[in-house]
A = this chain, B = another copy of it.
Amino acid sequence: MTKTRVTLKDVANKVGVHSSTVSRVLNPKTRSMVTEEIADKILSVVKDMGYRPNAFAQSLKTNKSFTVGVMVPDLTNPAFAPIIKGIDDMLEAHGYSVIVASTYNLPEKQQSTVEKFRERHVDGLIIATAKRKDSLIDDCRQEGTPFVQAVRASVDADVSSVVSDEIIGGNMVVSHLAQLGHKRIAYVAGPQFLSTGYERYRGFLQGMKNAGLEADKDLVVFCEEFTEEEGRNATSKLLALRKKFTAIYAGNDLLALGVYDELEADGIKCGQDISVVGFDDMPFADKFNPPLTTVHTPLVNVGGEAARILLEKIADSSIPARTIKLKPDLIVRSSTGRVK
């Protein structure tokens, strides 16, 4: 019942030394300062008594929390779970704990979250919620806490970020479609205030150019969110144009799912009548009807690399900012086919 914790002093008393000696034994850096014999004794008592350091006291003294804050838009968004997994595994291996928070794309939630993180003195931040221009980023830069952006980058130059190479992805998609004989390709663009939406759109345009195709402005619809609903709306707009196109390339897989829905509602067969491509290769994209051709972005690695860069920055804050673009892969499934 008496759940009184064991402290350094308790251990010290039992062994008959001073608490500072125990502290030194437990800290690898100072371990060599104390005699082997005493150290062994201390270590065994530490084990016997089940001593566990008090993280608060340590943090208070050392001003390090071994805690990192991670901000994502929504935990249930299938793209973010793998990212967090990557972050978590990497940081855990280095003794850090991860505090996750969803901001649901609400600026005020984003702000309050970062405040909370500061109160808890996180050693660093990983931000996967930022817009291309985001006051949060200035804020964080001023504050001085190390941070890294993941998946979504902002326009600020001297901020580290880890993203997938959206441009290359766009090229691969268009080139694939072109090979299948598609010429008139519609694009369902994600939000342009997010780097993913913006860059992927640029990738599409560049891909068209490289393939010697002309991008028809009418066949590009911009969405305000990466959601199925926006994908449906966009598709119905495209269909209403009554212009000819043989493929729809969507800014991400969720939008593509919306495209599926709307096409099906119109009795159009994906992959046969019209080819559809997504982006992200979210979990179970291979289970959809039809299995979705999409660009696989290495989400777990994006998270892992972001964590690694953050660790570097925590260890040495003078390290210059850098941007890592991971190479994506085109995954061809049956939602794309030769144009008839």
A77–B52 Cα distance when bound, in Å, is 32
Q: Are B75 and A121 in contact (CB under 8 A)?
A: no
Residues of A95-142 whose CB lies within 8 A of B: 97-102, 115-116, 118-121
In the assembled complex, A30 has its CB within 8 A of some CB on chain B = no
Q: Are A88 and B60 in contact (CB under 8 A)?
A: no
Q: Which residues of B contact A191 (CB under 8 A)?
A: none
Q: Are A99 and B101 in contact (CB under 8 A)?
A: no
Q: Which residues of B contact A257 (CB under 8 A)?
A: 284, 287
Residues of A241-265 whose CB lies within 8 A of B: 257, 260
**Binary B-proximity of A174-189 (CB < 8 A = 1, otherwise 0):** 0000000000000000
Which of the 9-residue segments A10-18, A38-46, A79-87, A215-223 touches chain B? A79-87
Q: Which residues of B contact A102 (CB under 8 A)?
A: 85, 88-89
Instruction: Please give the distance in Å from A138's CB to the nearest CB on chain B.
Output: 16
Cβ-neighbour of A76 out of B55, B81, B119 (below 8 A): B81
Q: Which residues of B contact A118 (CB under 8 A)?
A: 52
A283–B78 Cα distance when bound, in Å, is 9
A75–B260 Cα distance when bound, in Å, is 27
Instruction: Please give the distance in Å from A34's CB to the nearest CB on chain B.
Output: 23
7 closest cross-chain pairs (CB), A and B: A289-B289, A56-B60, A56-B59, A3-B144, A75-B85, A56-B56, A76-B81
A290–B56 Cα distance when bound, in Å, is 53
Q: Which residues of B contact A76 (CB under 8 A)?
A: 81-82, 85, 283
A60–B62 Cα distance when bound, in Å, is 14
Q: Are A78 and B75 in contact (CB under 8 A)?
A: no
In the assembled complex, A57 has its CB within 8 A of some CB on chain B = yes
Q: Which residues of B contact A74 (CB under 8 A)?
A: 85
**Binary B-proximity of A256-281 (CB < 8 A = 1, otherwise 0):** 01001000000000000000000000
Q: Are B60 and A57 in contact (CB under 8 A)?
A: yes
Instruction: Please give the distance in Å from A288's CB to the nearest CB on chain B.
Output: 5
Instruction: Please give the distance in Å from A125's CB to the nearest CB on chain B.
Output: 14
Cβ-neighbour of A287 out of B52, B92, B119, B287 (below 8 A): B287
In the assembled complex, A32 has its CB within 8 A of some CB on chain B = no
A57–B98 Cα distance when bound, in Å, is 20
Which among A74, A82, A85 has the greatest number of chain B C-beta atoms within 10 A?
A: A85
